[in-house]
Structure 1
Amino acid sequence: MQKLLKFSRLVDTVTSKLGSLIIWLILGSTVISAANAIVRKAFDNSSNAFLEIQWYLFSASFLLAAGYTLFNGEHVKIDLIYNRWSKRARMWIDVFGFTVFLTPVCLAVLYFSLPFFWQAFRSGEVSGNAGGLIRWPVYLMLPLGFTLLLLQGWSELIKRLAFLKGLIDDPTLKKGEKTAEEELAEVIRQREAEAAAAAAAKN
């Protein structure tokens, strides 16, 4: 299990570093979009290449950030139901989800998208728009993004199994975030302090 946890830490490190870089793709897409709009309005001129590259950058940021989103626990969950279960029950639900849903879906996307990318790469496929860009870089984002998501999914699976074995602390708790027990204890301490202050004021 320790070797698996080492693999998990490596994946988490890579995911974290990539996540801090991916934000620049969003900035690049925004700047190019604004510049293209200004040129089109001010000089009545535009470029399909600039339009397409902003789509490429946005697609890349969306797909490459999927693993980072999972790493930070920001993926969509039905919190109303999910949070009603005990911590161990939630961990088992995650284990089931990563094993039965996330892994097969990622593998299926990789199976179908890799030949799609390879065909475009070999043929040098270019956009049908005048002045358009080559297509394979944006096709590459699909298998690359789902590979990163798959690896992060396996990392999360390992951490949850390790937690269930009592080897690590709660992996879903963000750094600096308090557990429900800690929050309850803080509320109790605050109320006791308020009650003590009120009693002292009466005396």
Structure 2
Amino acid sequence: MRALLGLSRKIDAFNTVIGRWLSWLIVLAVVISAANAIIRKALDMSSNSFLELQWVLFSVVFLLCSPWTLLSNEHIRIDIINHTLPLRLRGWIDMIGHLFFLLPFTIVMLWWSIPFFLTSLHQNEQSFSAGGLPQWPAKSLIMIACVLLMVQGFSEIIKRAAMMMGIIPDSNATVISAQRAAELEAERLVMHIAGDKP
């Protein structure tokens, strides 16, 4: 299990570096979007390649940062139910979800995304818009994201198994997601305001 936990730490570190660096592409997408809007209004001209570059940058961030989101425990879940459950049960739910839903999903998506990408690459598929970007680089993102998300899923399973065996402390007990922290702060403020009223 020690070797698996070492592998898990390396996977976590890799996806953290990717997530932190690529999240800065949002700033670039905003700058390109603003510049395109200003040029369109001021000079009455627009560029399809800049418009498409915006959605490619968004796709990079959305797809390639998803493993980092999973690692950070910031993915979508039904928090009204989940945070009321005991920690051990939450760990089991996470492990079962990763094993029977996340991993099969990433495997199927990878299986279908490889020919999707290869066909686009071999045809040198271009945008339908004049002056647009090639399509195959964007289609490769699906494949890369599936691999990264699958590997992060394995890392999460390793950590959940180690927690269940008592080898490492339960990260759910000490880590509060940003969303949960905001919920707790909102509850505190409501209680403070309600307490101040006559």
Q: How far apart, CA to CA, are the structure 2 residues paired with 1:151 and 1:48?
A: 35
Aligned length: 177
Superimposed CA distance per residue, residues 2-50 of structure 1 (whole angstroms, 9 cap, x where no aligned partner): 1111110000000111111012211111110100000000000011011
- 5 Å-filtered alignment, 1:51-62, equals 51-62=51-62
Quote the residue 1:97 is aligned against. 97
Cα–Cα, structure 1 residues 55 and 128, in superposed 2: closer, same or farther, change >3 Å? Answer: same
Aligned twin of 1:166: 166
Q: CA deviation at 1:175?
A: 6.0
Relative distance call for 1:173 and 1:53 in structure 2 (3 A) is: farther
- Give the alignment of 1:74-89 within 5 angstroms: 74-89=74-89
Describe the superposition over 1:69-88 as per-residue Cα deviations: whole angstroms up to 9, x where unpaired: 11110011112222222211
Match of 1:42 in 2: 42
**Match of residue 26 from structure 2:** 26
**Shift of residue 63 of structure 1?**
0.6
Q: TM-score, normalised by structure 1?
A: 0.83
> Which whole-Å deviations, capped at 9, do the CAs of 1:91-137 have from their partners, x for residues lacking one?
11111100000000010000001110011111111001100110011
Matches within 5 A, 1:121-160: 121-160=121-160
Q: What is the TM-score normalised by the length of structure 2?
A: 0.85
- For 1:36 and 1:130, the matched residues in 2 are separated by 16
5+ unaligned residues in a row in structure 1: which ranges?
178-203
Separation in structure 1 between the aligned mates of residue 107 and residue 176 of structure 2, nearest angstrom: 34
The 1:78/1:175 distance shift into structure 2, 3 A limit, reads closer
List runs of 5+ in structure 2 lacking aligned partners.
178-198
RMSD of the alignment, in Å? 1.5
Kindly indicate whether residue 116 of structure 2 is the aligned counterpart of residue 116 of structure 1. yes
The answer to whether the Cα contact below 8 Å between 2:87 and 2:173 also exists between their aligned partners in 1 is no
1:16 maps to 16
Report the AA paired with residue 81 of structure 1. I
> Once the 2 structures are TM-superposed, how far is the Cα of residue 145 of structure 1 from its aligned partner?
1.1
In 2, Cα distance between the equivalents of 1:174 and 1:145? 28
Partners of 1:71 and 1:119 in 2: how far apart? 32
Return the offset for 1:142.
Answer: 0.6
Structure whose CA Rg is larger:
1
